[in-house]
Amino acid sequence: MEDRFGRKIDYLRISVTDRCNLRCLYCMPPEGVKPKPRQEILRFEEILTVVEAALELGINRFRLTGGEPLLRKGIIPFIKAMALLPGIEDIAITTNGLLLPQLGEQLKEAGVRRLNISLDTINPEKYRKITGGGDFRTVWEGITTALELGFTPVKINVVALNQINDEEWADLARLTLDRPLHIRFIELMPVGTSWQLAGKNYVSCGQVKSEIEKKLGKLTPVTHIQGSGPAEYHRLPGAQGTIGFIHAMSNHFCASCNRLRLTADGKLRPCLHDRREVDVREAVRSGATGKELQELFHKALQLKPASYRQAAVAPAAGRGMAQIGG
Protein backbone atom coordinates (compact mmCIF):
# COMPACT_ATOMS: atom_id res chain seq x y z
CA MET A 1 0.00 0.00 0.00
CA GLU A 2 1.08 3.58 -0.64
CA ASP A 3 0.74 6.59 1.60
CA ARG A 4 -0.18 10.19 0.66
CA PHE A 5 3.44 10.91 -0.22
CA GLY A 6 3.90 7.94 -2.55
CA ARG A 7 5.90 5.89 -0.05
CA LYS A 8 5.41 2.13 -0.36
CA ILE A 9 4.39 0.73 3.03
CA ASP A 10 5.12 -2.99 3.28
CA TYR A 11 6.57 -3.37 6.76
CA LEU A 12 4.87 -3.65 10.17
CA ARG A 13 6.74 -3.59 13.48
CA ILE A 14 4.73 -5.38 16.11
CA SER A 15 5.30 -4.83 19.80
CA VAL A 16 4.18 -8.08 21.41
CA THR A 17 4.72 -6.90 24.98
CA ASP A 18 5.48 -3.74 26.93
CA ARG A 19 7.33 -5.76 29.58
CA CYS A 20 11.09 -6.15 29.75
CA ASN A 21 13.74 -7.93 31.79
CA LEU A 22 16.14 -4.95 31.43
CA ARG A 23 15.95 -1.25 32.22
CA CYS A 24 18.15 0.38 29.60
CA LEU A 25 18.83 3.93 30.67
CA TYR A 26 17.62 5.45 27.38
CA CYS A 27 14.46 3.39 27.26
CA MET A 28 12.99 2.99 30.74
CA PRO A 29 13.30 4.68 34.12
CA PRO A 30 15.26 2.56 36.66
CA GLU A 31 12.05 1.57 38.42
CA GLY A 32 10.59 0.40 35.08
CA VAL A 33 7.35 1.47 33.46
CA LYS A 34 4.13 0.14 34.89
CA PRO A 35 3.04 -2.46 32.34
CA LYS A 36 -0.47 -2.16 30.96
CA PRO A 37 -3.03 -4.54 32.46
CA ARG A 38 -3.05 -7.84 30.58
CA GLN A 39 -6.54 -7.35 29.20
CA GLU A 40 -5.31 -4.23 27.39
CA ILE A 41 -2.57 -6.15 25.59
CA LEU A 42 -3.49 -7.79 22.29
CA ARG A 43 -3.79 -11.55 22.55
CA PHE A 44 -1.75 -13.51 20.02
CA GLU A 45 -4.83 -14.56 18.06
CA GLU A 46 -5.82 -10.89 17.86
CA ILE A 47 -2.39 -9.96 16.50
CA LEU A 48 -2.78 -12.71 13.89
CA THR A 49 -6.09 -11.16 12.79
CA VAL A 50 -4.38 -7.78 12.35
CA VAL A 51 -1.50 -9.43 10.47
CA GLU A 52 -3.98 -11.12 8.11
CA ALA A 53 -5.54 -7.74 7.33
CA ALA A 54 -2.08 -6.26 6.77
CA LEU A 55 -1.16 -9.08 4.39
CA GLU A 56 -4.24 -8.34 2.28
CA LEU A 57 -2.90 -4.80 1.90
CA GLY A 58 0.53 -5.95 0.72
CA ILE A 59 2.28 -5.51 4.05
CA ASN A 60 4.27 -8.74 4.08
CA ARG A 61 7.35 -8.10 6.21
CA PHE A 62 7.08 -8.07 9.98
CA ARG A 63 9.35 -7.46 12.94
CA LEU A 64 8.46 -8.57 16.45
CA THR A 65 9.73 -6.27 19.13
CA GLY A 66 8.67 -4.81 22.47
CA GLY A 67 9.53 -4.52 25.37
CA GLU A 68 11.37 -7.80 25.22
CA PRO A 69 9.50 -10.01 22.74
CA LEU A 70 11.09 -13.26 23.91
CA LEU A 71 9.68 -12.74 27.39
CA ARG A 72 6.13 -13.21 26.24
CA LYS A 73 4.77 -16.67 26.99
CA GLY A 74 3.66 -18.50 23.86
CA ILE A 75 5.89 -16.51 21.50
CA ILE A 76 7.14 -19.64 19.70
CA PRO A 77 3.72 -21.13 18.81
CA PHE A 78 2.63 -17.60 17.83
CA ILE A 79 5.54 -17.22 15.40
CA LYS A 80 4.84 -20.69 13.99
CA ALA A 81 1.22 -19.71 13.36
CA MET A 82 2.26 -16.41 11.84
CA ALA A 83 4.78 -18.07 9.53
CA LEU A 84 1.98 -20.23 8.12
CA LEU A 85 -0.15 -17.25 7.03
CA PRO A 86 -0.22 -17.06 3.24
CA GLY A 87 1.86 -14.22 1.84
CA ILE A 88 4.28 -13.77 4.76
CA GLU A 89 7.69 -12.86 3.35
CA ASP A 90 9.67 -12.23 6.47
CA ILE A 91 9.47 -12.42 10.26
CA ALA A 92 12.37 -10.81 12.09
CA ILE A 93 12.91 -10.12 15.78
CA THR A 94 14.58 -7.34 17.75
CA THR A 95 15.68 -8.67 21.12
CA ASN A 96 18.05 -7.86 23.94
CA GLY A 97 19.38 -11.39 23.40
CA LEU A 98 19.19 -12.60 27.00
CA LEU A 99 16.79 -15.43 26.20
CA LEU A 100 18.45 -16.49 22.96
CA PRO A 101 20.54 -19.24 24.55
CA GLN A 102 17.26 -20.95 25.56
CA LEU A 103 15.02 -19.99 22.66
CA GLY A 104 17.34 -19.55 19.67
CA GLU A 105 16.84 -23.01 18.23
CA GLN A 106 13.05 -22.92 18.60
CA LEU A 107 12.95 -19.48 16.95
CA LYS A 108 14.88 -20.82 13.99
CA GLU A 109 12.53 -23.80 13.69
CA ALA A 110 9.52 -21.50 13.97
CA GLY A 111 10.59 -19.59 10.87
CA VAL A 112 12.63 -16.60 12.06
CA ARG A 113 15.68 -15.92 9.86
CA ARG A 114 16.81 -12.45 10.84
CA LEU A 115 17.72 -11.23 14.29
CA ASN A 116 18.62 -7.82 15.64
CA ILE A 117 20.26 -8.02 19.04
CA SER A 118 20.86 -4.94 21.18
CA LEU A 119 24.30 -4.52 22.74
CA ASP A 120 25.79 -1.13 23.60
CA THR A 121 29.04 -2.25 25.21
CA ILE A 122 31.33 -5.26 25.53
CA ASN A 123 32.37 -4.27 29.02
CA PRO A 124 30.39 -6.43 31.48
CA GLU A 125 30.35 -3.76 34.21
CA LYS A 126 29.21 -1.07 31.80
CA TYR A 127 26.58 -3.44 30.37
CA ARG A 128 25.21 -3.88 33.87
CA LYS A 129 25.04 -0.11 34.32
CA ILE A 130 23.48 0.72 30.93
CA THR A 131 20.88 -2.04 31.16
CA GLY A 132 20.05 -1.70 34.85
CA GLY A 133 21.51 -5.05 35.91
CA GLY A 134 21.87 -7.17 32.75
CA ASP A 135 24.45 -9.95 32.49
CA PHE A 136 26.83 -9.43 29.56
CA ARG A 137 27.89 -13.09 29.41
CA THR A 138 24.32 -14.19 28.78
CA VAL A 139 23.77 -11.79 25.90
CA TRP A 140 27.16 -12.70 24.42
CA GLU A 141 26.15 -16.35 24.62
CA GLY A 142 22.92 -15.32 22.88
CA ILE A 143 24.89 -13.71 20.06
CA THR A 144 27.18 -16.71 19.59
CA THR A 145 24.14 -19.01 19.66
CA ALA A 146 22.50 -16.91 16.93
CA LEU A 147 25.63 -17.18 14.76
CA GLU A 148 26.00 -20.91 15.38
CA LEU A 149 22.37 -21.52 14.46
CA GLY A 150 22.92 -19.70 11.18
CA PHE A 151 20.52 -16.75 11.57
CA THR A 152 21.31 -14.42 8.67
CA PRO A 153 21.88 -11.62 9.06
CA VAL A 154 22.60 -11.13 12.75
CA LYS A 155 22.60 -7.39 13.36
CA ILE A 156 23.79 -5.79 16.57
CA ASN A 157 22.08 -2.54 17.54
CA VAL A 158 24.37 -0.17 19.42
CA VAL A 159 22.90 3.09 20.69
CA ALA A 160 25.79 5.57 20.39
CA LEU A 161 26.13 7.31 23.75
CA ASN A 162 28.69 10.05 24.12
CA GLN A 163 30.70 9.74 27.35
CA ILE A 164 29.16 6.32 28.00
CA ASN A 165 30.26 3.95 25.23
CA ASP A 166 32.37 6.33 23.09
CA GLU A 167 35.64 4.63 23.99
CA GLU A 168 34.30 1.34 22.63
CA TRP A 169 32.97 2.32 19.19
CA ALA A 170 36.11 1.05 17.46
CA ASP A 171 36.18 -2.14 19.56
CA LEU A 172 32.55 -2.82 18.67
CA ALA A 173 33.35 -2.18 14.99
CA ARG A 174 36.22 -4.68 15.25
CA LEU A 175 33.74 -7.43 16.14
CA THR A 176 32.87 -7.50 12.43
CA LEU A 177 36.39 -8.61 11.47
CA ASP A 178 36.13 -12.31 12.20
CA ARG A 179 32.37 -12.81 12.61
CA PRO A 180 29.51 -12.20 10.15
CA LEU A 181 28.03 -9.60 12.49
CA HIS A 182 26.49 -6.35 11.29
CA ILE A 183 27.17 -3.74 13.94
CA ARG A 184 24.77 -0.81 13.59
CA PHE A 185 25.25 2.43 15.46
CA ILE A 186 21.95 4.17 16.20
CA GLU A 187 21.59 7.80 17.18
CA LEU A 188 19.94 8.34 20.55
CA MET A 189 16.37 9.48 20.04
CA PRO A 190 14.59 11.76 22.49
CA VAL A 191 11.68 9.37 22.96
CA GLY A 192 9.89 8.64 26.22
CA THR A 193 12.36 8.80 29.09
CA SER A 194 15.47 9.76 27.12
CA TRP A 195 14.90 13.49 26.64
CA GLN A 196 17.41 14.48 29.31
CA LEU A 197 19.93 11.88 28.25
CA ALA A 198 19.63 12.98 24.63
CA GLY A 199 20.57 16.53 25.64
CA LYS A 200 23.79 15.33 27.30
CA ASN A 201 24.84 12.12 25.57
CA TYR A 202 23.59 12.42 22.00
CA VAL A 203 26.22 12.02 19.32
CA SER A 204 25.66 11.94 15.57
CA CYS A 205 26.55 8.90 13.50
CA GLY A 206 28.85 11.17 11.48
CA GLN A 207 30.93 11.70 14.63
CA VAL A 208 30.89 8.00 15.49
CA LYS A 209 32.10 7.13 12.00
CA SER A 210 34.94 9.62 12.08
CA GLU A 211 36.04 8.36 15.52
CA ILE A 212 36.09 4.79 14.18
CA GLU A 213 38.02 5.87 11.08
CA LYS A 214 40.60 7.68 13.25
CA LYS A 215 41.36 4.37 14.98
CA LEU A 216 40.76 1.79 12.25
CA GLY A 217 41.27 3.60 8.94
CA LYS A 218 38.87 4.51 6.19
CA LEU A 219 35.64 2.49 5.95
CA THR A 220 34.52 1.24 2.55
CA PRO A 221 30.82 1.75 1.70
CA VAL A 222 28.82 -1.42 1.01
CA THR A 223 25.74 -1.20 -1.15
CA HIS A 224 23.53 -4.20 -0.58
CA ILE A 225 22.68 -5.76 2.77
CA GLN A 226 19.65 -8.00 3.23
CA GLY A 227 16.80 -6.03 4.79
CA SER A 228 19.05 -2.98 5.00
CA GLY A 229 16.27 -0.52 5.96
CA PRO A 230 17.46 2.92 6.93
CA ALA A 231 21.09 2.08 7.68
CA GLU A 232 24.13 3.08 5.65
CA TYR A 233 26.71 0.25 5.63
CA HIS A 234 30.50 0.12 5.51
CA ARG A 235 33.14 -2.56 5.83
CA LEU A 236 36.61 -2.81 7.30
CA PRO A 237 39.17 -4.33 4.91
CA GLY A 238 38.78 -8.12 4.88
CA ALA A 239 35.96 -8.10 7.45
CA GLN A 240 33.24 -10.77 7.45
CA GLY A 241 30.61 -8.37 8.77
CA THR A 242 29.69 -4.74 8.23
CA ILE A 243 29.35 -1.52 10.18
CA GLY A 244 26.09 0.39 9.80
CA PHE A 245 24.99 3.86 10.79
CA ILE A 246 21.37 4.73 11.44
CA HIS A 247 21.10 8.51 11.32
CA ALA A 248 17.86 8.47 13.24
CA MET A 249 18.08 12.16 14.08
CA SER A 250 20.81 13.89 12.06
CA ASN A 251 19.89 12.83 8.55
CA HIS A 252 16.39 11.59 8.73
CA PHE A 253 15.24 8.83 6.44
CA CYS A 254 11.57 9.81 6.46
CA ALA A 255 11.45 10.06 2.67
CA SER A 256 12.03 6.31 2.40
CA CYS A 257 10.00 5.28 5.46
CA ASN A 258 8.19 2.03 4.66
CA ARG A 259 6.67 1.13 8.02
CA LEU A 260 3.80 1.24 10.44
CA ARG A 261 3.89 0.11 14.04
CA LEU A 262 1.42 -1.90 16.08
CA THR A 263 1.72 -1.20 19.81
CA ALA A 264 1.30 -3.94 22.38
CA ASP A 265 -2.08 -2.48 23.36
CA GLY A 266 -3.38 -2.57 19.82
CA LYS A 267 -2.81 0.88 18.34
CA LEU A 268 -1.51 1.42 14.84
CA ARG A 269 1.16 4.08 15.10
CA PRO A 270 2.09 5.69 11.79
CA CYS A 271 5.26 7.44 13.01
CA LEU A 272 7.49 6.81 16.02
CA HIS A 273 7.79 10.55 16.57
CA ASP A 274 4.12 11.41 16.36
CA ARG A 275 1.79 10.44 19.16
CA ARG A 276 -1.27 10.04 16.93
CA GLU A 277 -2.47 6.44 16.79
CA VAL A 278 -5.40 4.48 15.42
CA ASP A 279 -7.00 1.93 17.72
CA VAL A 280 -7.48 -1.52 16.21
CA ARG A 281 -8.01 -3.44 19.45
CA GLU A 282 -11.66 -2.52 19.87
CA ALA A 283 -12.33 -3.35 16.25
CA VAL A 284 -10.67 -6.78 16.52
CA ARG A 285 -12.49 -7.53 19.77
CA SER A 286 -15.86 -6.57 18.36
CA GLY A 287 -15.39 -8.93 15.42
CA ALA A 288 -14.54 -6.41 12.67
CA THR A 289 -14.22 -7.89 9.20
CA GLY A 290 -10.91 -7.94 7.35
CA LYS A 291 -12.17 -5.06 5.23
CA GLU A 292 -13.01 -2.98 8.29
CA LEU A 293 -9.55 -3.59 9.72
CA GLN A 294 -7.99 -2.61 6.40
CA GLU A 295 -9.88 0.69 6.60
CA LEU A 296 -8.16 1.34 9.91
CA PHE A 297 -4.80 0.77 8.21
CA HIS A 298 -5.82 3.35 5.58
CA LYS A 299 -6.82 5.74 8.35
CA ALA A 300 -3.38 5.29 9.95
CA LEU A 301 -1.70 5.98 6.63
CA GLN A 302 -3.62 9.24 6.34
CA LEU A 303 -1.99 10.29 9.62
CA LYS A 304 1.54 9.38 8.57
CA PRO A 305 3.48 12.65 8.33
CA ALA A 306 5.85 13.40 5.45
CA SER A 307 8.63 13.73 7.99
CA TYR A 308 9.02 13.63 11.75
CA ARG A 309 9.52 17.40 11.57
CA GLN A 310 5.89 17.67 10.50
CA ALA A 311 4.67 15.33 13.22
CA ALA A 312 1.53 16.98 14.54
CA VAL A 313 2.17 16.46 18.21
CA ALA A 314 5.34 16.34 20.28
CA PRO A 315 7.10 12.97 20.30
CA ALA A 316 5.80 10.07 22.29
CA ALA A 317 4.73 11.98 25.39
CA GLY A 318 4.03 9.36 28.03
CA ARG A 319 5.14 6.46 25.84
CA GLY A 320 8.66 5.12 25.68
CA MET A 321 10.23 2.89 23.05
CA ALA A 322 9.37 -0.23 25.04
CA GLN A 323 5.69 0.65 24.86
CA ILE A 324 5.58 1.78 21.24
CA GLY A 325 7.83 -0.99 19.98
CA GLY A 326 11.29 0.30 19.07
Q: How many residues bind ligand SAM (CB under 6 A)?
A: 20
Residue 189 interacts with which of ligand SF4, ligand SAM, none, CB < 5 to 8 Å by class: ligand SAM
For position 27 contacting ligand SAM by CB under 6 A, the verdict is yes
Q: Are 242 and 234 in contact (CB under 8 A)?
A: yes
Q: Which of 22, 50, 59, 231 binds ligand SF4 (CB under 6 A)?
A: 22
Taking the least distance from each CB to ligand SF4, the nearer of 34 and 291 is: 34
Let me know if 133 is exposed, middle or buried by CB neighbors in 10 A (0-12, 13-18, 19+).
exposed
Strand, coil or helix: what is 210? Answer: helix
CA angle 242, 247, 13 (to 5 degrees): 85
Within 159-218, which residues bind ligand SAM (CB under 6 A)? Answer: 159, 186, 188-189, 191, 194
**Contacts for 125 with CB less than 8 Å, ≥ 6 apart:** none
Told to check if 92 binds ligand SF4 by CB under 6 A, we report no
Report CA-CA distances (Å) from 211 to 46, 117, 160, 205, 214.
Answer: 46, 23, 12, 10, 5
Q: In what order do the strands lie in the sheet with 267-269?
A: 220-222, 232-235, 242-246, 181-187, 154-160, 114-118, 90-95, 61-65, 11-15, 259-262, 267-269, 278-279
Among ligand SF4, ligand SAM, none, residue 242 binds (CB under 5-8 Å by kind): none
Is 326 a binder of ligand SAM (CB under 6 A)? Answer: yes
Using CB under 6 A as the binding rule, the residues of this chain from 99 to 118 that contact ligand SF4 are: 118
Q: Is 272 in the site for ligand SAM (CB under 6 A)?
A: no
Report the nearest approach of ligand SAM to the CB of residue 320 (Å). Answer: 7
Least Å distance, CB 124 to ligand SF4, is: 16
Where along the sequence are the contacts to ligand SAM (CB under 6 A)? 20, 26-27, 65-66, 68, 94-96, 118, 157, 159, 186, 188-189, 191, 194, 321-322, 326
